[in-house]
Structure 1
Amino acid sequence: MLALQRVFVVGGIFSQSPQCASHFVRHFSVCPVLRSPKRHSPYSSVDTERYSSLVKSVMSSRVSSQTPTTLQEEDEHIYGPIVKAQTTTRSEVREPKITHPFLSSDWTLGTEEPESGPPTRVVLNRGKFLAPSVTRILQQTLSQEQTFYLERWKRRMIAELGEEGFKEYSQNLFRQGKLFHSALEDVLTLGVTWKDRNPSETSEYAPEVQGYMKSISHILEDVSAVRAIESTVHHDTLNYLGIVDCVARYRGVLCVIDWKTSDKPKPSLSNTYDNPLQVAAYAGALNVDGNYKYQVENGLIVVAYKDGSPAHAHQLHSELMLEYWKMWLMRLEKFREQRSSHTSNMI
């Protein structure tokens, strides 16, 4: 009997097992799997709205960034990598239909405000800003594949912890995230660098965040000239808003800084999920927001670890920020199309 073969569809391209591949061209009908009816993708059956709160917790700057980004890698470890067939078709480079500059054309060097003084903190006023948040836009424009992995991750966690256990786990992540950002706020508003601080003046942090603070201690030594903390940014032209964790100089370069926490190592930028798009979106909004008299071209994502191991700092230089800015514009475009389609269906 012929062994049942698996066929994967990756990016619209068939990938076959070696047994089938050898007969594919000359004996197309030899592979029994290829004659089977087309099955629906498991991604298409996922209820995106049902998992919006889960995605929000993943993307929120205040919540532990313990995302299921490594699930596909775990699959490959267990089942082996998916073999992609060679193709001569050149993939098209996607570009946003509506472009918008990342930097403000109205900004000049003479308008830049001095770096002295307390950090800016623009409080979110929902009555004033009738615009969707960056987090909401990203969570509602996930691909079917991303949503599928989020669903499976949640099911696995519930299987291990139970419904109540998973709920408690999520609440603990949220609480730890708030405590971590609160501790960071205390440090960054003092106006001195971490290495210049008097140890006797260091406040006693909650036990839940002591590991995180130890983890980022070497990063804080290179952070100076803090210009904004937990401050709202609004892009009035593209109509979205967000709350920036921090704007400061890292090793002399002005950056939008996003602080994340994790129990698992995230040594590369690809491990940070949609966070680079988030940072680019914040920077793009800040650059046109009249509350900030300066421009930011660079970003930094810092991943702190609960066990105190050294945090990873992922720098986004100006060229890379422009690439993520384009990707953000496409997600924003997708969000608008979905909302427009939803409105049309209700009429």
Structure 2
Amino acid sequence: MQSLSSICKKFGRSSRFFGELAPSVGFSTSCYFHNQKKKKNPYQEVDQNKYSNLISSIVSTRISSQTPESLIQDDLLYRPVSKCKAQDQESEPKVTQNTILFLNPEKRNVSKTLTDSSIPLKIPLQKNKMPSVTRILQQTMTAKQILILERWKQQMILKLGEDGFAEYTSDIFLQGKHFHEELEAMLSSQEQLKELDEKTIRSGYVASVQHVLKEISGVRALESAVHHETLKYLGLIDCVAEYRGKLCVIDWKTSEKPKPFIQNTYDNPLQVVAYVGAINHDINYHFEVQCGLIVVAYKDGSPAHTHFMDSELCSQYWSKWLLRLEKYTEKGKNQTSPNPD
């Protein structure tokens, strides 16, 4: 019989024995953890560049002309880490339950007859319990829109201070007010509109829309109140006139940033179609409007961008407007309904 020491020596010379023995040993708990997959850190999936851009956009002290619309276009919102959908994100598009038509066939026959083109309608706005178009749009913004607007406001306050931001918003309002007043004076008289030249231009905004004014004729309403008798909302329209032979509700806008596409104009198309639909169902207006026009003017006098909305496009936005109106109505009901005990 071989001694134990001789057996061990034989085993020691066999590399195969120890090579096969090692992987079969499982006494150590470290082997178990080593074979398990390493848990993935969810924060590694976050786009760090998005976060850095977001932080830079908020805390930067450099003055910029960013607006809520430009923030939407730049898409500075960071992507959510959670897999859950945001509350305002809808998997399926909603369909309006309202069947009110955008057009009014009863007015179609008389819309071609202009009683007195030299005297545009100027119906004063009478405040009542009806909500305004502007209020409805403001009260039905999505959570994303509200977040963007609030972040833009805080960003501007960081750059300008509380007083500086208040002065900035006041200046923007006054510039828009003066711009509308100048346009109203020019459009009130067809003769004055025809005689428009560089001497009559008082601001960069008016210079910006000079090429648009030359294509406007047959002004029927200026700074005139309108209300929808069935849907119960009101507003103040800038202008109703013919643009290139098409009767339109014209909405004048000012902007610090170019808006070459209608998508850049935020909720302005909804505002326009709300006014068009209201005119078509307001007994004070004896004509039918089928088109809209958004004119974006620039302070430096560069040519304004025009966004013409034909009847088909207006009908598409009309459905979206009805959804916003339904949302506003539902929101009002929830706020007034008593809380259950």
Match of 1:173 in 2: 172
Which SS does the other structure have where 1:192 is aligned? helix
Partner of 2:118: 117
Q: Measure, in 2, the Cα distance between the counterparts of 1:66 and 1:182.
A: 26
**Whole-Å Cα distance in 2 between the matches of residues 112 and 346 of structure 1?**
53
Please say which structure displays the higher CA radius of gyration: 2
Q: CA deviation at 1:113?
A: 3.8
* 2:142 aligned partner, one-letter code: S
Paired-residue identity, %: 49
Partner of 2:260: 267
1:328-339 map, 5 Å: 328-339=321-332
Check 1:29–1:346 CA distance in 2 against 1; reply closer, same or farther (3 A cut): farther
**2:158 aligned partner:** 159
Matched AA of 1:68: P
Give a deviation string over 1:285-328, Cα, whole Å, max 9, x none. Answer: 00010111111110000000000000000011111100110000
CA-CA distance at 1:226 after TM superposition? 0.5
1:204 Cα deviation from its structure 2 partner: 6.5
Q: 1:111 to 1:280 in 2, by over 3 A?
A: closer
Whole-angstrom distance in 1 between the partners of 2:252 and 2:309:
14
Shift of 1:66: 8.2
C-alpha spacing 1:112/1:31, structure 2 compared with 1 (3 Å):
same
Deviation at 1:102, TM superposition (A): 0.5
CA contact 1:223–1:251 (8 Å) conserved in 2: yes
CA-to-aligned-CA distance 1:45-74 (integer Å, 9 cap, x gap):
xxxxxxxxxxxxxxxxxxxx9841121333
The change in CA–CA distance for 1:324 and 1:75 in structure 2 (over 3 A counts) is: closer
Alpha-carbon spacing, 1:223–1:30, altered in 2? closer, same or farther (3 Å): farther
CA pair 251-171 structure 1, distance change in 2 beyond 3 A? same
Q: Distance in 2 between matches of 1:308 and 1:265?
A: 12
Structure-2 change in CA distance of 1:346 and 1:241 (3 Å): farther
- Equivalent position amino acid for 2:252 in 1: W
Deviation at 1:236, TM superposition (A): 1.2
Letter in 2 for 1:118: I
For 2:323 and 2:95, the matched residues in 1 are separated by 7
Equivalent residue for 2:335, pick from 335, 342, 346: 342
The 8 Å contact of residues 99 and 329 in structure 1, kept in 2 or not, is answered as no
Greater CA drift, 337-346 or 325-334: 337-346
Q: Is the 8 A contact 1:266 1:272 kept in 2?
A: yes
Unaligned runs of 5+ in 2: 1-35, 46-64, 84-89
Q: State the distance in 1 between where 2:320 and 2:292 align.
A: 15
Given the two structures, how large is their TM-score scaled by the length of structure 2?
0.75
- The one-letter amino acid paired with 1:117 is S
1:319-330 alignment runs, 5 A limit? 319-330=312-323
CA-based RMSD: 2.9
Q: Note closer, same or farther for the CA distance 1:171–1:198 as it changes in structure 2 (3 Å cut).
A: closer
Match of 2:214 among 209, 212, 221: 221
Contact 1:66-1:261 at 8 Å conserved across structures = no
The verdict on how the C-alpha distance between 1:316 and 1:34 changes in structure 2, with shifts beyond 3 A counting, is same
Distance 2:225 2:332 in 1: 24
Equivalent position of 1:197 in the other structure? 195
For 1:250 and 1:224, how far apart are their aligned partners in 2? 7
**Alignment partner for residue 305 of structure 1, among 298, 305, 315?**
298
What amino acid maps onto 2:195 in structure 1?
R
Aligned to 1:33: 42
Is the contact made by 2:67 and 2:152 (CA closer than 8 Å) also made in structure 1? no
Q: Secondary structure at the match of 2:241?
A: strand
Letter in 1 for 2:103: L
| Structure-1-length-normalised TM-score | 0.73
What residue number does 1:72 align with?
Answer: 72
